[in-house]
Amino acid sequence: MQLYNKLSAKERAELIDKSGKKRLTLSFYKYAKIGNLQIFRDHLFITWNTMEVLGRIYIAHEGINAQLSLPADRFEAFKAHLDSITFLKEVRLNIAVEQDNKSFLKLKIKVRDKIVADGLNDNSFDVRNKGIHVSAKQFNDLIEDETTVLVDMRNHYESEIGHFKNAITPDVDTFRESLDIIENDLNDQKEDKKLVMYCTGGIRCEKASAYFKHKGFKNVYQLEGGIIEYTRQVKEQDLENKFVGQNFVFDDRRAERISEDIVSNCHQCGNPFDLHTNCANEACHLLFIQCNACKDIMENCCSSRCMEINRLPYEEQKAIRKGQGNSNDIFKKGRADHLSYKKDLRNILNRSENEHS
């Protein structure tokens, strides 16, 4: 049984060139409870190695985080293998925009303590020294307290469609950014204020709460199990629900409705709407909020430019993509300049009105 790479990066690169096969680069991650990491790790390695998968994969007791490439013609087999693993069934696979046959030259599956690349040096503080976990009931009481500062530890595109009432929702793209913002904002109140945090499933708060304690915050609390568990407890115990809108989730559902309130707007027409979509143009794939009316008009694209590209035959789309390099929009997640409301849409509406008149 081969459990480790035999080829050097150089040998692998030559092999990829010689095979002439197109490779797909993709990524996925999933939070799940994994028991025996070594067995799971070896199982993945043996199976994926035979499929010529290359990449960097982290597994931990909290889940899996994978970035990898594989020959395009192995994709179905790979997907079938993922589907055979209970917690990876139908996991969302993010296919890279810029394909590079040599994005990875080795298969590295590493057992780690954490799967989240949070930009923090764990050695600098004790992650086990975390904040006080609170139940939904305790959380509801705590956030009514005048000395409480309630902080949403998620990114801007998550809190945009749903959050707790009166929560601070840092306008950040990464977890790391929000830590500094919060610390700066509360710098002279570290001892008097109660810092109460929440995130989707609680994992991000685990690390954040330890970080803030390390930074000198005296009263640090976190919502146990995050929004997901809060919602379950609220229903089970018939508590008041203080979360408004949708809970953004990292799978194909994209969001779970927690309350009927719609707290965000379509990024194109501005009407109240709270469901994200990805631009249908594969080279763009921008994550943004698009109402159903705009989805029809814009053919599920974020801009008229993307509509044009998306209408082209697939081969032509690929040819265009080739020369262009990576679209940065994919990382903007609703921030792309052209979304600052509906410019494209207006142009299209005007055009079609003129055509009809």
Residues annotated as part of the active site: 199
* Token output for 100: 């590079």
The least distance separating Zn ion from the CB of residue 347, rounded to whole angstroms, comes to: 14
The least distance separating Zn ion from the CB of residue 333, rounded to whole angstroms, comes to: 12
Residue of the chain from 26, 64, 97, 269 that contacts Zn ion (CB under 5 A): 269
Is 307 one of the binding residues for Zn ion (CB under 5 A)?
Answer: no
Is 306 one of the binding residues for Zn ion (CB under 5 A)?
Answer: yes
Is 268 one of the binding residues for Zn ion (CB under 5 A)?
Answer: yes
* Token output for 306: 């993307």
Instruction: Find the binding residues for Zn ion in span 106-145 (CB under 5 A).
Output: none
CA atoms within a 13 Å half-sphere pointing along the CA-CB vector of 219: 15
Is 283 one of the binding residues for Zn ion (CB under 5 A)?
Answer: no
The least distance separating Zn ion from the CB of residue 289, rounded to whole angstroms, comes to: 8
DSSP code at position 9: H
Amino acid (one-letter) located at 26:
L
| Residue 78 or 288 with smaller CB distance to Zn ion | 288
The least distance separating Zn ion from the CB of residue 134, rounded to whole angstroms, comes to: 38
Residue of the chain from 70, 107, 275, 284 that contacts Zn ion (CB under 5 A): 284
Beta partners for residue 257, in sequence order: 246
In which residue are the tokens 């913002």 written? Answer: 181
Is 97 one of the binding residues for Zn ion (CB under 5 A)?
Answer: no
> Interface with Zn ion by CB under 5 A: which range of 66-74, 91-99, 217-225, 283-291?
283-291
End-to-end CA separation in angstroms for the chain: 72
Is 279 one of the binding residues for Zn ion (CB under 5 A)?
Answer: yes
> Interface with Zn ion by CB under 5 A: which range of 46-54, 103-111, 129-137, 261-269?
261-269
Confirm if 331 and 173 have CB atoms less than 8 A apart: yes
- With contacts defined by CB under 5 A, how many residues of the chain interact with Zn ion? 11
Is 231 one of the binding residues for Zn ion (CB under 5 A)?
Answer: no
**Alpha-carbon distances of 150 from 167, 180, 264, 314, 342, rounded to whole Å:** 5, 16, 20, 47, 33
Helix or strand or coil: residue 43?
helix
The least distance separating Zn ion from the CB of residue 281, rounded to whole angstroms, comes to: 5
R_g over Cα of the chain: 23
Is 266 one of the binding residues for Zn ion (CB under 5 A)?
Answer: yes
Residue of the chain from 209, 222, 264, 281 that contacts Zn ion (CB under 5 A): 281
Is 151 one of the binding residues for Zn ion (CB under 5 A)?
Answer: no
In which residue are the tokens 């005007």 written? Answer: 350
Confirm if 182 and 261 have CB atoms less than 8 A apart: no
> What is the C-alpha separation between 255 and 297, in angstroms, rounded?
23
- Within 8 A by CB and 6+ apart from 335, the residues are 156, 173
Is 339 one of the binding residues for Zn ion (CB under 5 A)?
Answer: no
> Interface with Zn ion by CB under 5 A: which range of 11-19, 134-142, 199-207, 285-293?
285-293
| Residue from 251, 183, 240, 248 nearest 217 by CA | 183
The least distance separating Zn ion from the CB of residue 335, rounded to whole angstroms, comes to: 13
Confirm if 289 and 244 have CB atoms less than 8 A apart: no
Q: Which residues bind Zn ion (CB under 5 A)?
A: 266, 268-269, 279, 281, 284, 286, 291, 294, 302, 306
